[in-house]
Structures are given as C-alpha cells and as structure tokens.
Amino acid sequence: MHPTARISPYLGIPGLLQEFGIASDDVLAACELPADLFDDGEHRVTYLDIERLLLECERCTGCDHFGFLLGQRIRLAQVGLAGAVALCQATAGEGLRSFVRHFNLHNDAATVTLVDVGTYMRLVYAIAAHGLVDTRHLQLGSVTAAFNILRDLCGPAWMPVGVTFATRPAANLRLLRRYFRGPIQFDSGESAVLFARHWLDEPLPPVEPSTRRRVFAGVRQSRLRMLADFPTTVRRIVRKQMLFGRFSMDDIAAQLAMHRRTLDRHLQRHGVGYGELLESVREDVARQLLRDTRMPIQQIAESVHFSSAANFATAFRRRSGMPPSEYRRRAAGASPPRSRRQKEML
C-alpha cells in the first residue's frame, strides 16, 4: 500500500488552472485520475498520483513554480485534524508542536519536524514516500504552505529568518523572494522554514470545550487507522530521525515506545526487515537530492549519513546498479526542458 495524503490542500488546483485557461477535467483525464477527485476534501490520494498531477499541471501551464502558486492557497484549515488540534492549544508553540505530532493523520507520505537551533527554530518538511521521480512542486508547495501555517499560528506580523528548498531554483525567483520577504536558498539538503523562537510564545484564541472534545475524538479514531500500516509508519519515523542522525533500530523503537524486538516482530509480520527498510529510505533521499538539486555528491553522502563519498557511492551502486554521478546524469537527461520565465501572477 502506497502512503497517501488528503486531497484538501490540493483543492486550489482547479481554480489555479482556470487562471491559466485550462480545464481541470482535462488534466485529471491526462493523469488517469477520477473526475470527482476534487469533490470531497477527505478523499485520499497517493503521493505518486499527486506528483504526477503536479507535473501535468506544469506541462499544461508551462509554469515551473506551479507548486509555489498552489502552496499560497494552503492554510492551517486545509490540513484536517492536524490543523484543528493545533488550534486547540494555548500558544503558537504548543499549537505548532501539536501540528507536527499529528501531521501524519493528514498525510502519511511525508513528515514535518520542528528542530530547535538555539534562538531559532526550523520547521522541516521531508518526503517519506518511496518511488517518486520529481519532487520539485511538492517541495515548493509544502514549504509555502508551512510559511502560511506558521503565520496562521503566530499572527500576521510573523516573519521568517530564512527559507530553504531541497530542489533546484524556479525561474521566477523574484516572485518567490517577494512572497517570503526573506532570504531563500535552493539546492539545500532540506526544505525548511527558519524563524525566531520568540514567536512561539504568541497566544492562540480559546476554543470551545465541545470543539476540543470532537477534535480529540477524531484524533483517536484516526490514529488507530494509521497504525494499521506499520511499515509505512516506521518509514516516516526513520525519515524524520535521519534529520537528527539517530535512526538505529533502538532509536526507532524508542520513538514507538516499544522494545526493538517488538519492532522487529511487527515488521516481520509484514515481511519487512528493518535493515532493508532503512537502506530503502536512505536510497530514496539520496535519489531525490541527486535528481532535484545540484548539491555536491559529498554533501549528499553526509545528508544520508555515510562516512565518506566513496562508501556512499558503493552503497548506491549496489542498490541502483550505477554510481551516483551516472544516476544524476541520466535523471537530468530525462527531465523536461526548463519552463520559460512566467509572468508574475498576483
């Protein structure tokens, strides 16, 4: 079973396509997706289908920052229970930590992580789904959505210190710089928003007790459904723990509040070994950075926690049948031509 996300954040696609003079029904048909996909925000769709949909939107519009335009329309309300439970907290910090903790009730194909860096915090988005081939629009849209979500929680005066993207630059950088109103960096090892810690002290409006009860009842029901696909859950945790360099079997078992033997037993029931799952995650991260960024291979090796570029190249060749440099060359040759510079859409 491939991990999925609720379609609600993508409900802005039909209106955005209409601004380009394109019918969403034609795009859905080209992607072999159901015509009623956007009828209900609770529909779930695989990340493979979302990736294919966003790439078809780029092909039809000629806009290489389509994900960014879509991300501008995503707010806390579009992320379901994860957003609702965040708004039930007392402060922006409690709300953001709750959002991070419950994000996978909305999306089990990616992770968000709040990283403490002293006087600053980083909200990091990372894809955990396997088999994607071009994540540019997912990276652009998700970081833009994270920017909006932080503003929803911290208030309209909130501003980032910086924004990074684990993808190569879009053509219209001026448009992105104007929206984020702060430094932006592409070809980064992670997609993230950096901001000052003091914003987390901002109070949130109080919520009715009946609303809180309804939200948390929904959380309990959704958690039971999410844990039914145990390997997908473990894969997400591994991807998140890679940000901290703590992804041994003991580390992952501790995140699940279980012994490593219990973790191993649950995985074996699904025919999965932890070592194979870990190497699959590392390979997927490496492929994404090789394909979607211009990061030096040495830095990519460090990002996936190999002791040297040589060890990374050996492991990558063993799994993919080619060295990292060859994979990058072939991926670049298979990519569509870069889109022409677009007129700014206000």
Predicted local distance difference test score (pLDDT) of residue 230: 87
- Name the DSSP letter for residue 206: -
Neighbours of 291 (CB within 10 A): 21
**What spatial distance separates the first Cα and last Cα of the chain, rounded to whole Å?**
39
- With a cut of 70, list the residues of the chain below it in pLDDT: 1, 223-227, 335-346
Domain with CATH 1.10.10.60 in the chain: 229-330
Predicted local distance difference test score (pLDDT) of residue 254: 86
Predicted local distance difference test score (pLDDT) of residue 346: 32
Predicted local distance difference test score (pLDDT) of residue 196: 98
Predicted local distance difference test score (pLDDT) of residue 227: 65
Predicted local distance difference test score (pLDDT) of residue 1: 59
d(CA 307, CA 327): 20
| Tally of helices (H runs) and strands (E runs) in the chain | 16, 7
Domain 229-330 has CATH 1.10.10.60: yes
pLDDT digits (tens, 9 = 90+) for 64-81: 999 999 999 999 988 988
d(CA 116, CA 342): 37
CA distances from 8 to 39, 41, 175 (A): 10, 4, 25
Predicted local distance difference test score (pLDDT) of residue 335: 60
Closest CA to 231 of 274, 195, 202: 274
Predicted local distance difference test score (pLDDT) of residue 229: 80
Predicted local distance difference test score (pLDDT) of residue 113: 95
